[in-house]
Amino acid sequence: MALPPYPASPFPVERTAIVTGAASPRGIGRATADRLASRGWSVVVLDLDPAASSAVAAELQQLHGVPCLGLGVDISDRPGVRDAVATVVAELPQLVALVNNAGVSSPVPFLEVSEQEWRRVVDVNLHGTFHVTQEAARVMASHRLGRIVNVSSASAQRGGGVYGRAAYSASKAALLGLARTLARELGPHGVTANSVSPGSIDTDIMGGPLTDERKEFLLRELPVGRIGTVQDVAAVIAFLVSEDAGYLTGVTYDVNGGSHIA
């Protein structure tokens, strides 16, 4: 008996991934961009500072021999995002993957958080992700192939993190719901959507590098006995955007060393 046609198109050899928030030197996005470029992806480093984004893209291109592009874009600015995605389509191979990694945190307790602070966080983490995802997903759907990964946070699942409070957790929880909905809506267009949910990773987002005291505190909650690294997260994202991950969609991957076991 003949099987129904598989909806997605074949995975192209030359393909592009957009990684938002990939210019931070010690960040998850930078590590993800590097890993993807090492696997043959053309990578778009999309971050606030144009010079920093271009510098990272130039470094990746030189290191891995794939065309890369750095763009200075605030993801909460829709026209800027639209132009950026148009540039990617015009200048690089087929857009196949989007990693929604850019984000800001907020340590303000709920009873004290101002509307301005709330909006600052939601504008980037949720609205920014909406802008980039809609622009990129339209391109992916037109090719009947795509991979979307949202970077959420264990903070969304366990009710606040070690640093991020209500605005951050709420915006990161929204990303889990968004990815699940995209999985249903975009599946018929050949596009998968998943989330990674990191626990505490030693980057600068928690107000600077972790002190020994904070590390000791975190280690008490970690069955694997070490703090997470950006490579721990990048490895899972690289798998989720790969050709092999085509049957995974609507899933949340906890990358937390067992600090939160659902």
Ligand X SMILES: NC(=O)c1ccc[n+]([C@@H]2O[C@H](COP(=O)([O-])OP(=O)(O)OC[C@H]3O[C@@H](n4cnc5c(N)ncnc54)[C@H](O)[C@@H]3O)[C@@H](O)[C@H]2O)c1
Q: Which residues bind ligand X (CB under 6 A)?
A: 20-21, 23-24, 27-29, 47-48, 74-76, 101-105, 124, 128, 151, 153, 198, 200-201, 203-206
| Residue indicated by tokens 């998850």 | 28
Q: Which of 6, 163, 168, 247 is catalytic?
A: 168
Query: Residue number with the shortest CB distance to ligand X?
Result: 103
Backbone angles phi, psi at 66, to 5 degrees: -120, 145
Helix pair angle (28-38, 230-240), 10° resolution: 50
**DSSP category for residue 201:** B
Q: Give me the least distance between CB of 52 and ligand X, in Å please.
A: 8
Q: Which residue's CB is nearer to ligand X, number 183 or number 210? A: 210
Q: Which residue's CB is nearer to ligand X, number 29 or number 146? A: 29
Q: Which residue's CB is nearer to ligand X, number 45 or number 145? A: 45
Q: Give me the least distance between CB of 256 and ligand X, in Å please.
A: 8
| Residue indicated by tokens 């409070």 | 165
Q: Which residue's CB is nearer to ligand X, number 195 or number 249? A: 195
Cα separation of 144 and 239, whole Å?
Answer: 19
Q: Which residues of 115-145 are buried (b: 16+ CB within 10 A; e: fewer)?
A: eeebeebbbbbbbbbbbbbebbbebbbebeb
Q: Give me the least distance between CB of 75 and ligand X, in Å please.
A: 4
Enumerate the H helices of 2-153 as residue ranges: 28-38, 50-64, 78-91, 115-122, 129-143
Q: Give me the least distance between CB of 178 and ligand X, in Å please.
A: 13
The two tokens of residue 254 are 């906890």
Q: Which residue's CB is nearer to ligand X, number 108 or number 141? A: 108
Q: Which residue's CB is nearer to ligand X, number 164 or number 190? A: 164
Cα separation of 178 and 129, whole Å?
Answer: 9
Residue 238 makes CB contacts below 8 A (sequence gap 6+) with 32, 35, 36, 39
Q: Give me the least distance between CB of 221 and ligand X, in Å please.
A: 13
Cα separation of 251 and 216, whole Å?
Answer: 31
| Catalytic residue flag (residue 168) | yes
Q: Give me the least distance between CB of 10 and ligand X, in Å please.
A: 31
* Active site residues per annotation: 168
